[in-house]
């Protein structure tokens, strides 16, 4: 039994602690100025004013760094293609599971609907084979083109094979990051 020790929290640098304290002081200065914009206290002398301005500038810089750190990083084209392939595989599987025998398959009017999630517009564009994010919310795609994108959508049943029988309607809700594909299938 080995006993490994955790790193101590004492390794936090002194400059990081000073920066947090300076940020707290600057945040308090901002709060007091905004609380009473007409009568806030102004530091006396040039040195006091310089110190207050430096604190505010450092606080502003730290906020800028936080904003930059919180932005998601841009995906490479390989990452976008890999994510689009995952969405395709999930859609293909979900659609094929719905394609089961029903009496309406004889006329090619059995319906399927697939609800998916894709929050990234670039990935959804790659999923549909577009050069970039889609510029539409609803689109009708020919069944052959859809099957070329998604993959094989033929399902074997006892004495026959089921396949798409209509164009595919695609509805995308970019604000929610969801999409819906629907169509018909049959013999």
Q: Where is pLDDT greater, at 179 or 74? A: 179
> Model-level pTM?
0.57
Per-residue pLDDT at 58 exceeds 70: yes
Half-sphere exposure of residue 9: CA atoms within 13 angstroms, side-chain side: 1
- Report H helices in 36-76: 45-70
Residue with tokens 């577009």: 130
Mean confidence (pLDDT) of the chain = 80
Per-residue pLDDT at 147 exceeds 80: yes
User: Which residue ranges make up each domain of the chain?
Assistant: 14-70, 77-186
Task: Name which of 29-33, 124-128, 136-140, 164-168 the model is least confident about.
Answer: 29-33
Q: Where is pLDDT greater, at 71 or 6? A: 71
How crowded is residue 7: how many other Cβ atoms within 10 Å of its Cβ?
Answer: 6
pLDDT above 90 as % of the chain: 4
Residues shown for the chain: 187
Q: What is the pLDDT of residues 3-49, one digit of tens each?
A: 555 555 555 555 555 556 657 777 777 787 778 778 777 778 888 88
Please give the distance of CA 186 from its chain centroid, rounded to a whole number: 35
Query: 169: pLDDT confidence band, cut at 50, 70 and 90?
Result: very high
User: Would you state the pLDDT for residue 43?
Assistant: 77
User: Would you state the pLDDT for residue 20?
Assistant: 62
User: How far apart are the C-alpha atoms of 138 and 121, rounded to whole Å?
Assistant: 14
User: Would you state the pLDDT for residue 99?
Assistant: 87
Per-residue pLDDT at 176 exceeds 70: yes
User: Would you state the pLDDT for residue 36?
Assistant: 79
Query: 163: pLDDT confidence band, cut at 50, 70 and 90?
Result: confident
């Amino acid at each position: 039994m080995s006993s490994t020790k955790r790193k101590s929290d004492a390794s936090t640098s002194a400059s990081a602690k000073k920066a947090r304290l300076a940020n707290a002081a600057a945040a308090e200065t901002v709060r007091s100025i905004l609380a009473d914009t007409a009568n806030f206290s102004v530091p006396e002398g040039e040195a006091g004013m310089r110190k207050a301005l430096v604190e505010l500038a450092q606080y502003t810089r730290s906020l800028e760094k936080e904003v930059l750190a919180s932005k998601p990083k841009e995906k490479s084209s390989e990452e976008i293609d890999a994510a689009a392939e995952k969405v395709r595989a999930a859609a293909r599987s979900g659609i094929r599971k719905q394609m089961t025998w029903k009496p309406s398959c004889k006329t090619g009017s059995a319906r399927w609907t697939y609800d998916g999630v894709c929050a990234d517009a670039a990935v959804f564009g790659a999923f549909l084979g577009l050069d970039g994010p889609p510029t539409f919310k609803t689109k009708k795609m020919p069944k052959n083109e859809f099957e070329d994108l998604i993959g094989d959508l033929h399902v074997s049943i006892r004495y026959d094979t089921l396949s798409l029988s209509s164009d595919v309607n695609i509805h995308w809700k970019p604000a929610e990051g969801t999409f819906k594909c629907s169509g018909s299938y049959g013999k």
